A = this chain, B = another copy of it.
Amino acid sequence: VSAAGFALDPRLAAGSAFVTDWPLVQVRLRHDARFPWLLLVPRRAGVSELHDLDTADRAALGAAVLAATRVVQDVAAPDKINVAMLGNVVAQMHVHVVGRRRVDAAWPGTVWAAGEAVAYAPDALAAALAAYRAACARLAPS
């Protein structure tokens, strides 16, 4: 399976910032300063459900999810990590990896029912991206 024809959904592009490319997936930071929230988007055209990926890509996705949980743990030291693949709004496959704190804006509910996103201030976004990029480089899936 190749990346030919892959194009990031415009809603995913608008709602998040590029962090880095890992094997298979593009890592992005959701534009919501309330939560340490990464998105993993497989660079594959036309994939929506797990069974749309071949065996090698599923293994790579699993490794990327594990690595992303370690990145969020490293950067944000949350109380819990939420991992989800939903796709009800944007069908293009993307995995949410979200650090949660017992005092955050949605706890114990989910981040998808937490109201409007809060934008990062420009310098805060730059600092967050730098922190995630450093952690993604150090903890990249092999």
Contact = CB atoms under 8 A, between A and B. Distances in A.
Please report whether the interface of chain A is mostly helix, strand, loop or mixed according to DSSP: mixed
Interface residues of A, number: 30
Contacts of A128: none
B108 A110 contact: no
A113 B108 CA distance: 11
Interface string A19-60: 000000000000000000000000000001111000000110
Interface string A89-112: 101000000001000000111101
A65 B62 CA distance: 11
B50 A66 contact: yes
A86 B82 CA distance: 4
Contacts of A65: 50
A88 B107 contact: yes
B84 A85 contact: yes
A49 B69 contact: yes
Given A49-B73, A89-B108, A113-B113, 18 more contacts: A49-B80, A50-B65, A50-B66, A50-B81, A58-B62, A59-B62, A80-B87, A80-B91, A82-B85, A82-B87, A83-B85, A84-B84, A86-B110, A88-B100, A88-B107, A88-B108, A110-B113, A112-B113
